[in-house]
Amino acid sequence: MTLRRRPLLLAAAALAAPMPLAAQAPAWPQRPVRLIVPYAASGGTDILARATAEALRPALPHPIIVENRAGAAGVVGSEVVARAEPDGHTLLMVVSTHVMNRYHLPSMPFDPIRDFSPIAMLTRNTMVLVAGANQPFDSLRAMIEHAKRNPGRVGTGSTEALSSFIGQELARRAGVDMPDVAYRSGGQLMNDIVAGHLPTGWTSTVSAMPHIGTGRVRVLAVSTGTRTPYFPDAPTAAEQGVTEFDLSGWVALLGPPRMDPALVATIGGAVQRAFDDAAFQQRLVALGVERDFRPPAALLEAMQRDDRIWAAAAQAGHIRPQQ
């Protein structure tokens, strides 16, 4: 063999050789996957988790089983995932208050960013202000005026730290006393709104959507700076006199810390294919979910940005730890 020909043969052999195992996409899943939802059943995140698990089922050799582990504003279920093996068989679906909790709760058993592997952002979580049709106000302006005439008597329901913060931030800017009323899930909050036990509350579009067509619930405002396509007739708070009011959240898929990036890519790719499916997108629209799919790096950036926002709000005294 000539010296000139030998390097060519060695290069061809190197190309034909199997890739190292570390560079190959891992097989996933190898058994049923636990998808932990750290909130009560029937809320917006639970509904999205079950729809996602169902959409993924035809493409996977094993099912994704949604498990509700509610408690401590999502900390109970999240801790299960923070301590799980990073093999992709225990995952977490959370809302953006997963990050905010460190400023809202007196203590946490994990770091909400460092102790999880970001897999994908799934949706934008526009919050809507809803009220029962039997309430004596039909707009945000009218609600504020009613609350001023009845200080402390118009409770605002919330389901987690974000909706609680939105409600109290709105009250602070409007100069009214509207006590926060905490609920375990959007489903429970909406049931009390419909029954007339709670005058108003902030919840997700997903939780509100099933009740809007009944005529027993009104959407008074949205939390974002632009209107949501799901309730196009619902004005923003800014349109109703509360200027520069633009607060929203997200729903994301996380895994335990130190997951193999190749495994993260495998899981994220499977979820993205489900979210790109036209039939599933139609289902999201029917549920009132605003699709906003982003890869791990973009999710991490959003989590870090939110952390800076909540840190500044806490420093200003707008978020106070629970006692």
Does 172 score more than 50 pLDDT?
Answer: yes
pLDDT of residue 26: 66
Closest CA to 77 of 14, 160, 17: 160
Q: Which neighbouring-strand residues pair with 218?
A: 131
**The tokens of 43 are what?**
């809320």
Please give the average per-residue pLDDT across 287-308, as a whole number: 93
pLDDT tens digits, one per residue of 8-66: 444 444 444 444 444 565 689 999 999 999 998 988 899 999 999 999 999 999 999 99
**What is the SS3 assignment for 130?**
strand
pLDDT of residue 27: 86
pLDDT of residue 234: 93
* pLDDT confidence tier of residue 320, bands split at 50, 70 and 90: confident
pTM value surpassing 0.85: no
Query: Cα 231–236–241 angle (5° rounding)?
Result: 150
Please give the average per-residue pLDDT across 289-314, as a whole number: 93
Of all residues in the chain, the percent with pLDDT exceeding 90 is 68
Mean pLDDT for all residues in the chain: 89
**What is the SS3 assignment for 256?**
coil
pLDDT of residue 11: 42
**The tokens of 209 are what?**
């959507």
Task: Give the rounded distance of the alpha carbon of 139 from its chain centre.
Answer: 26
Please give the average per-residue pLDDT across 251-262, as a whole number: 97
Please give the average per-residue pLDDT across 226-247, as a whole number: 90
Q: Which range is least confidently modeled, 92-106, 203-217, 274-288? A: 203-217
pLDDT tens digits, one per residue of 96-146: 999 999 998 989 999 999 999 999 999 988 899 999 999 999 999 999 999
pLDDT of residue 125: 83
